[in-house]
Amino acid sequence: MSCQRTGFHAHIAPYGMWVYGDAYKLRGVTYFRICEIGWGPLRDHIHYTIHDWDHWFDERKTSQAQNSTMICSPFDCTYHGYEGVPL
């Protein structure tokens, strides 16, 4: 497993929410360790757009004290590059 982006910022399209954390990739599957959730942008660049996910462990417990984990298959999210795209 390799870290694809420490400090990623993503928009979860189906919920209209924004998340922040670390992103890892293994065999085409993206694993997001999410530590912050908000209804508006949390940073000034976007690194991912999440369209769907296979599972979101501890979704309702996400915080700095307890990270949640989202698993996305290869076509469930769009990667906008390491530097991201300005909002």
The full set of domain ranges for the chain reads 2-86
Using the predicted structure, report yes or no on whether residue 86 has a pLDDT greater than 90: yes
- Check residue 64 and give its pLDDT: 79
- Check residue 63 and give its pLDDT: 78
Residues 6 or more apart from 12 whose CB is under 8 A from it?
18, 19, 50
Other beta carbons less than 10 A from residue 10's beta carbon: 29
Mean pLDDT to the nearest integer, 72-82: 95
Using the predicted structure, report yes or no on whether residue 38 has a pLDDT greater than 90: yes
Output 61 or 45, whichever has higher pLDDT. Answer: 45
**For all residues of the chain together, what is the average pLDDT?**
94
- Check residue 18 and give its pLDDT: 98
